[in-house]
Amino acid sequence: MAKPVLLAIDDDVSVLEAVVQDLRRKYGQTYRIVRAASGGAALDISKQLKERGDVVALFLSDQRMPGMTGVDLLQAVIELYPDAKRVLLTAYADTEAAIRAINSARIHYYLNKPWDPPEEKLYPVLDDLLQAWNQGHKPAYDGIQLVSARWGVGDHEVRNFLSRNRIQFKWLNPDLNPEAMSTLRDRGLDEGKLPVVLFGDGSSLVQPTTTEIAQKVGLRTQAQQEYYDVVVVGAGPAGLAAGVYGASEGLKTLLVEPMAPGGQAGSSSKIENYLGFPEGVSGDELAKRAYIQAQRLGAEFLTQGVTNICSDNGYHILRMTDGREVTCRVCLIATGVDYCWLCVPGEERLRGKGVFYGAALTETNTCANEEVHIVGGANSAGQAAMHFSKHATKVRMLVRGPSLTQSMSKYLIDQIAATPNIVVETGTEVIGVEGDGNLERVKLMTPEGEVTRDCVSLFIFIGAAPKTDWLPKAVALDNKGFILAGPDLKTKSKEDSVWKLERDPYLLETSLPGVFVAGDVRHGSVKRCASAVGEGSIAIQFVHQYLATL
């Protein structure tokens, strides 16, 4: 945003220069100081500023000027900048006229010349006026704007990507913001093709992919180099920790993440059992700190997905979703897990249109003053319930088991019990979702039998589905799709010959030598943020050991 303008006007060049110097010394860092040598010139300048979209906070004008007096000028600029503060500079002989002008021209204040010292006679007056102006001024938004309907195709995906990457944007929902469609018309865009992302430079993206948005906002989508010592696939807690330790220990490190740093933990509204944060920390804040730390130490981040890994003569080649390839000596898989689907009628059709997986932070504002349903009884569901309870009228937790004690930390159970607008419904399962275009009803099986309830927002926090369907067959998985590593290659694998080398695999090494795994995607992992960070950290130790054997 351009700085607001303070416009000084006086036909006496020496006086005008003194006014400008006093204004710059006190206000130059916050405001842009503009000068004019006559009332007519000041009016022209004001019109030009208005056409460019600049804002004038204060006019400081001399009274006695040829052609147009100060009072006449300050009356004229009301039409252009009605909220700007107007101050008249007068000689002692003009005091009576200045007082009359306070009523006739709605002048906010008059000052007698000279005003030395300005610290006593000028700045206190202007400080009060500018403080009052700032309290009432709402700056015009010139950042990213997203025009999309709440239940429209692609709406949730775009909002989630922007939010998770901490990219500030203004959401214009046509159902709530009448100016949304006129904004599109003004730019010559098709009102029927949503979502549309509008940028401050006048450009736009219509029904964009997340990769297109990433490229436009400056996220890196192409690797800077063709070769790295270690490529980390996934930037959740495990991947971020590996990035910090790999880069700090001199390894040329690349982290590849298609969505945003933080993984599933990054969407947690508050993690209260993470070491070193006695008041708790949001997953987003934790991810941001780790991201900055890894970057500062030299790790490179890439907003891309990986579609395959192949090995050739001791090197690993990763193919990206855009078809490009990156080569590395060691690959660390830290893709984490997704929340499981309910697998009930209507779910696929309404996904992103009232049925969400995680996404508590992204959808908070859309659910204000509504009733929210949360499926799940583990910590992630509890954290989401506490977060939504601050915005929604009621939060209903739908828990399949008899209580929360088997799957949720006690501190969360206690908080939920003490929150009056959270209702825990145990022994309850979702058996169907319904709606025309968006979620409208949810069908439940309760201890009392089957019921149908009105519902527009259903958030699912159940199970853990590993992100491993892109891996080659050379990487051994268990029967649920989690990656086997270390000793588990021999005890859990269905095949006796998945490990081909004479040496034993390293603790976090997969069946493909030189490819390691860390975090929730590993078979037998503890599904906790701190555990993932620990695995990502120690994985780099095994990376060094592996590289030493080459």
By the 8 A CB rule, do 433 and 347 touch?
yes
User: Does 222 fall in a domain?
Assistant: no
Q: How many domains does the chain have?
A: 4
| One domain for residues 56 and 98 | yes
Q: What is the pLDDT of residues 407-417, one digit of tens each?
A: 999 999 999 99
Query: In 3-state terms, what secondary structure has residue 198?
Result: strand
**Assigned token pair, 380:** 């992630």
Q: What whole-number distance in Å separates Cα of residue 266 and Cα of residue 278?
A: 18
Q: Hey, how many other C-beta atoms are within 10 angstroms of the C-beta on 289?
A: 12
| One domain for residues 398 and 441 | yes
pLDDT class for 497, splitting at 50, 70, 90?
low
Residue 63 is predicted with a pLDDT of 87
What DSSP string runs through 415-448?
HHHT-TTEEEEES-EEEEEE-SSS--EEEEEETT
Q: Which of 143, 145, 140, 154 is nearest to 198 (CA)?
A: 145
CATH of residue 196's domain is 3.40.30.10
pLDDT class for 495, splitting at 50, 70, 90?
low
CATH of residue 421's domain is 3.50.50.60
Looking at the predicted structure, is the pLDDT value of residue 42 above 80?
Answer: yes
By the 8 A CB rule, do 109 and 125 touch?
yes
Residue 1 is predicted with a pLDDT of 59
Q: What whole-number distance in Å separates Cα of residue 475 and Cα of residue 535?
A: 19
| One domain for residues 441 and 403 | yes
Residue 510 is predicted with a pLDDT of 97
Residue at 505: amino acid letter: P
From 460, 476, 500, the end of a domain falls on 460
Q: What is the pLDDT of residues 4-34, one digit of tens each?
A: 999 999 999 999 999 999 999 999 999 999 9
Q: Hey, how many other C-beta atoms are within 10 angstroms of the C-beta on 317?
A: 15
By the 8 A CB rule, do 417 and 329 touch?
no
Give the whole-number percent of the chain exceeding pLDDT 70: 97
Q: What is the pLDDT of residues 166-219, one digit of tens each?
A: 898 999 999 888 889 988 998 899 989 999 999 988 899 999 999 999 999 999
Looking at the predicted structure, is the pLDDT value of residue 453 above 90?
Answer: yes
Structural domain including 284 reads 227-338+465-548
**Assigned token pair, 232:** 């980390």
User: Does 290 fall in a domain?
Assistant: yes
| One domain for residues 11 and 101 | yes
| One domain for residues 15 and 76 | yes
Q: What whole-number distance in Å separates Cα of residue 546 and Cα of residue 537?
A: 15
Q: What is the pLDDT of residues 419-446, one digit of tens each?
A: 999 999 999 999 999 999 999 999 999 9
Query: In 3-state terms, what secondary structure has residue 105?
Result: coil
CA 422, distance to chain mean position in Å, is 26
| One domain for residues 63 and 80 | yes
Residue 94 is predicted with a pLDDT of 65
Q: Please, what is the average pLDDT of the chain?
A: 92
| One domain for residues 73 and 154 | no
| One domain for residues 249 and 332 | yes
Q: What whole-number distance in Å separates Cα of residue 131 and Cα of residue 124?
A: 11
Pairing between β-strand 56-62 and β-strand 5-9 as defined by DSSP bridges: parallel
Q: What whole-number distance in Å separates Cα of residue 163 and Cα of residue 460?
A: 19
Which residues, other chains included, contact 426 with Cβ-Cβ below 8 Å and sequence gap of 6+? 399, 401, 402, 403, 404
DSSP state of 391: T
Residue 55 is predicted with a pLDDT of 94
User: Does 326 fall in a domain?
Assistant: yes
| One domain for residues 294 and 429 | no
Q: What is the pLDDT of residues 239-260, one digit of tens each?
A: 999 999 999 999 999 999 999 9
**Backbone CA torsion sign across 344, 346, 349, 352:** negative
Q: What whole-number distance in Å separates Cα of residue 550 and Cα of residue 545?
A: 9
By the 8 A CB rule, do 546 and 509 touch?
yes
User: Does 542 fall in a domain?
Assistant: yes
Pairing between β-strand 144-147 and β-strand 169-172 as defined by DSSP bridges: parallel
Looking at the predicted structure, is the pLDDT value of residue 89 above 90?
Answer: no
User: Does 190 fall in a domain?
Assistant: yes
CATH of residue 56's domain is 3.40.50.2300
User: Does 24 fall in a domain?
Assistant: yes
Q: Which of 440, 425, 287 is nearest to 355 (CA)?
A: 440
Structural element, H or E, at residue 42? helix 39-52
User: Does 451 fall in a domain?
Assistant: yes
Residue 32 is predicted with a pLDDT of 96
Per-residue burial over 477-489, b = 16 or more CB atoms within 10 Å of its CB, e = otherwise: bbeebbbbbbebb
Average pLDDT for residues 314-330, to the nearest whole number?
Answer: 96
Residue 99 is predicted with a pLDDT of 72
Residue 493 is predicted with a pLDDT of 66
Q: What is the pLDDT of residues 516-548, one digit of tens each?
A: 999 999 999 998 899 999 999 999 999 999 999
Which residues, other chains included, contact 325 with Cβ-Cβ below 8 Å and sequence gap of 6+? 226, 317, 318, 319
Which residues, other chains included, contact 82 with Cβ-Cβ below 8 Å and sequence gap of 6+? none
Average pLDDT for residues 257-284, to the nearest whole number?
Answer: 88
List, in sequence order, the alpha helices (H) in 340-461: 347-350, 379-388, 410-417
Average pLDDT for residues 266-295, to the nearest whole number?
Answer: 90
| One domain for residues 207 and 253 | no
Phi and psi torsions of 351, nearest 5°: -65, 125
Q: Which of 330, 428, 335 is nearest to 381 (CA)?
A: 428
| One domain for residues 202 and 246 | no
Pairing between β-strand 144-147 and β-strand 196-198 as defined by DSSP bridges: antiparallel
Residue at 216: amino acid letter: K
| One domain for residues 469 and 456 | no
From 186, 217, 248, the end of a domain falls on 217
From 435, 460, 485, the end of a domain falls on 460
